[in-house]
Amino acid sequence: MSETQPARAEDTDPTPVAEPIPEGDDGGYDPAASSLQGAVDSAVMRELLAVRGSIDNIDATLVYLLAERFKATQRVGHLKARHRLPAGDPGREKAQIARLRRLAEEAQLDPAFAEKFLNFIISEVIRHHEAISQNHQQDPARQQRP
Ligand SMILES: C=C(O[C@@H]1C=C(C(=O)O)C=C[C@H]1O)C(=O)O
């Protein structure tokens, strides 16, 4: 950059930018990995792999969705820690579970599974909130506001 040119945003912006993932770099993931390779008819294998392509897309979406959900619940955790609120909120959970069970029924998903899945996530969230609260009590000044 010459002395006379104004600084560009990319020269001055301190926000770290993630390295772009090179196209086609799937971390060595083999979508055709299977213990059935060679043991099933090739047409059946082709159909299986085609459906598995959709499953892979759905699983990737689930990871992104969960990452966003945990970002949101981390914010709730910091808010609760700052205001000394309890990690869990059973009243809220009861309402969420009833709602998700209804949605699951509409979507032809087993409502018992939907409830188990939500409870599994919530228990992890509560664990995070307890840790955030402990850290906050030990060192309130170090708590960042995400
Ligand atoms: C995220 C919260 O904290 C806990 C986790 C919840 C969740 O993961 O949905 C719901 C209620 C709380 O037990 C909250 O209070 O909103």
CATH code, 47: 1.20.59.10
Within a domain: 46: yes
The pair of three-digit structure tokens given for residue 110, joined into one six-digit string: 């087993």
Tell me, what's the pLDDT at 31?
Answer: 95
Percent residues over pLDDT 90 in the chain = 75
Ligand 1 close to Cβ of residue 130 (< 6 A)? no
Q: Is residue 29 part of a domain?
A: no
- Give residue 126 CA to ligand 1 midpoint distance, Å: 7
> Percentage of the chain surpassing pLDDT 70?
79
Residue 61 makes CB contacts below 8 A (sequence gap 6+) with: none
Instruction: Say what the pLDDT of residue 120 is.
Output: 98
Domain presence at residue 99: yes
- Asked whether residue 32 is domain-assigned, the answer is no
- Give the count of domains, the chain: 1
Domain carrying residue 107: 38-142
pTM reported for the whole predicted model? 0.81
Query: Does residue 132 line the site of ligand 1, with CB under 6 A?
Result: no
**Ligand 1 mean position, distance from CA 64 (Å):** 19
User: Is 70 a domain residue?
Assistant: yes
Predicted local confidence at residue 11, as pLDDT = 43
Please work out whether the CB of residue 97 comes within 6 Å of at least one atom of ligand 1.
no
Q: Is the model's pLDDT at 15 over the cut of 70?
A: no
Kindly tell me if the per-residue pLDDT of 122 is higher than 60. yes
17 assigned to some structural domain:
no
Domain annotation covers residue 25 = no
* CB distance 122 to ligand 1 below 6 Å: yes
- pLDDT given for residue 118 in this prediction: 98
Note whether residue 20 is domain-resident: no
- Between the CA of 79 and the centroid of ligand 1 the distance, in Å, is 12
Q: At residue 68, does pLDDT exceed 50?
A: yes
* Confidence label for 140 from pLDDT (cuts 50, 70 and 90): confident
Contact status, residue 125 vs residue 70, Cβ threshold 8 Å:
yes
